[in-house]
Structure 1
Amino acid sequence: MLAIEARNLRRTYTSRTGFLRPRRTTTEAVRGVSFEVARGELFGLLGPNGAGKTTTIKMLNTLLLPTSGTARVLGHDVATDPVAVRRRIGYVFGGDRGLYDRLSALDNLRYFAELYGVEPREQKRRIAELLDLVGLAGRERERVEGYSRGMRQRLHIARGLLHKPDVLFLDEPSIGVDPVAARDLRRTVADLRTGGTTVLLTTHYMAEADELCDRIAVIAGGTIRALGTPDRLKSRVQERDILEIEAYGAADEHLDRIRELPAVRGVAAEDRGSRQAVMVQTERGAELHAQVLAALDGIRIGRVVTREPTLEDAYIAIVEEAEQAEESEVAGIGTGGSAGDDSRGATADRSEEAAV
């Protein structure tokens, strides 16, 4: 039996604007998402903000009803049998919500154990096990208001595991966490998989996904654009070189100039404090240093290096291809494929792990 099975999931939101002449607008947040997660698998769901990741997770954990399509968790339909689904899942989301700051970690876990229906005679042992698992043993009597961001996130994970769920949803658990705490969180998540828990993880940190996930689905524009192992996704850009430039003040027009250069296959910029990292994907062996630097004329440049592609570079390429496809659809010059076709292609034979 599969841990998670999503078939052509769709979620549409309808909003009303205007007073004298009200108008209804429809937004498709998720457009035909399909994938499967095996029991004991650590599955990553990656995508840019607004891509539909959280909406998909909320449909899978019964917080939102699908507009159409079906989803099952351990054989139970999320729409027709939500109580059975909730008994078997845990949900951990990033951020500071979901804990009581004036209570200690121990009191928080006792409270949620009651809500989850954990047997009173099992609570003490279960809470002790989880505090040890997430590395908070010895700190459990301190108020949560004095906890660091990383400690809070580990307590969130402990809360989500109180009732021994078979499937755990982790929605950006390491957001805003310092590197040391993020490393500890990754270790905790890896231990969960070792213990047999099925984990569905969303994250914006590609190194985290590369390290942890057995398979990854990339969602953009509400549809699955690629699905496979981290190595399979990275193979999409293995014939490319990555030119990484430390820049200060690169604007959209500079990036557009780079995109127009021959042999450039993708451009992205990432803010890193006061500086930027501009990643330029080029055809393997193309010597474009001079042209790229000329396109960045007028801004301060730091270090320039050429390196091998990573999962982040594959992710950028997939998302940019999706954006270009959507622009073509809007312009009416698409090639005849549909978003639904993409999602079905991404969930074809598991042995092939077809990337869309």
Structure 2
Amino acid sequence: MGISSFRGPAIEAENLSRSYRLRSGWLRPQTKVIEAVKDVSFSIEQGELFGLLGPNGAGKTTTIKMLNTLLLPSGGTARVLGHDVAKDPVAVRQRIGYVFGGDKGLYDRLSALDNLRYFAELYGVEPAGQGARIQELLELVGLSGRERERVEGYSRGMRQRLHIARGLLHMPEVLFLDEPSIGVDPVAARALREMIQGLSARGITVLLTTHYMAEADQLCDRIAVIAGGRIRVVDTPDALKASVAAETVIEVEVVGATGGHTAALRALPGLREMDVEEGEGQVSVLTMRAKLGVDLYSAALSILSDVHIVRVSGRESSLEDAYVAIVGRG
């Protein structure tokens, strides 16, 4: 893999912003400005595996597209290995790879080998070294021996591994992974996580977006949470979990809870927040967080005394708890 001679951060974003103008109406057209990303600042060290987390529409993909030169910033600056994304986009593109989740970006009627040959030509990989490079990547992503099969017969996990191989063809120093495990089954997702950890161990800087909190917790050295286009916090997974560790967290699975029950639970003294996850039928999972020392158990069970309680359990605070609290505060 390529090793940079640049000694600064791999990625630097300073007050990065992106806005869109939307026109609506015909007889009386109106223009509305949408701020997708607002004054985003963070830096990523070389070799770091950095997570960018946030709800849908928070600005994650817009931020990544500005960093990899697919979108021009409306304001602020961003540099990749010292190269400005707006002023020197060619130098940035030579040093980065971009892998996104989903089925696009590959040719189904071609084999994996032919896909990689095609993209190697597009990326300007030297012809003399293409064969060895492709074989190295096929082994890295676990597709060696199946490279002559058409991609249309590949599973979602195999496609994602091929996406990663494609993104690594030109030996990038920085790799953007935009929800790489979306829609992938648990076994394939575990293989992808192991592969991503291996990339970081090779010295590649990785910027990862994901909606899977356990994945971010396992993989990332640091995490930035973005909501409403703004960065809310940047810290390690352990530090984020510690920020909500001084809480009582209980989960109650019930059958037949009504809006009256949840309203009464939300009104409990000391309750910080409550999430309601609807299951099949009338099953609901209520996750409640309160100040440490607050007796949620007896108060919650009293309110739910006239419905069927399947289980009640307490647990330690997780990265998901920290994420929900941060986004909720925003």
Could you state the TM-score of these two structures normalised by the residue count of structure 2? 0.92
Measured against aligned partners, the alpha-carbon deviations of 1:104-129 in whole angstroms (never above 9, x if no partner) come to 11111111111100011111111111
SS of the equivalent of 1:14 reads strand
Measured against aligned partners, the alpha-carbon deviations of 1:221-254 in whole angstroms (never above 9, x if no partner) come to 1111111111111111110021122346767776
Aligned to 1:97: 104
For 1:19, which of 8, 23, 26 is the aligned residue? 26
Counterparts in 2 of 1:296 and 1:152: CA distance versus 1, 3 Å: farther
Is 1:111 aligned to residue 123 of structure 2? no
Counterparts in 2 of 1:220 and 1:253: CA distance versus 1, 3 Å: farther
Paired with 2:146 and 2:212, the residues of 1 have a C-alpha distance of 28
Aligned to 1:288: 296
Is 1:278 aligned to residue 282 of structure 2? no
Could you state the TM-score of these two structures normalised by the residue count of structure 1? 0.86
Aligned to 2:225: 218
Aligned to 2:138: 131
Measured against aligned partners, the alpha-carbon deviations of 1:51-81 in whole angstroms (never above 9, x if no partner) come to 1100000000001111100000000000111
Structure 1 gap ranges (5+): 323-356
Is 1:245 aligned to residue 252 of structure 2? yes
Paired with 1:49 and 1:194, the residues of 2 have a C-alpha distance of 30
Q: Map residues 258-277 of structure 1 onto 2, 5 A cutoff.
A: 258-270=265-277, 276-277=284-285
SS of the equivalent of 1:237 reads coil
Q: Map residues 1-356 of structure 1 onto 2, 5 A cutoff.
A: 1-247=8-254, 255-270=262-277, 276-293=284-301, 301-322=309-330
- Deviates most, 175-184 or 251-260: 251-260
Counterparts in 2 of 1:257 and 1:93: CA distance versus 1, 3 Å: farther
What is the Cα deviation at residue 134 of structure 1?
Answer: 0.8
Paired with 1:197 and 1:127, the residues of 2 have a C-alpha distance of 18
What is the Cα deviation at residue 7 of structure 1?
Answer: 0.2
Measured against aligned partners, the alpha-carbon deviations of 1:158-187 in whole angstroms (never above 9, x if no partner) come to 110000000000000011111100100000
What amino acid is aligned across from residue 24 of structure 1 in structure 2?
T
What amino acid is aligned across from residue 295 of structure 2 in structure 1?
E
Paired with 1:81 and 1:272, the residues of 2 have a C-alpha distance of 50
Identity of aligned residues (%): 66
Structure 2 gap ranges (5+): 1-7
Paired with 1:83 and 1:27, the residues of 2 have a C-alpha distance of 28
SS of the equivalent of 2:327 reads helix
Paired with 1:166 and 1:253, the residues of 2 have a C-alpha distance of 55
SS of the equivalent of 1:211 reads helix
Alignment RMSD: 1.9
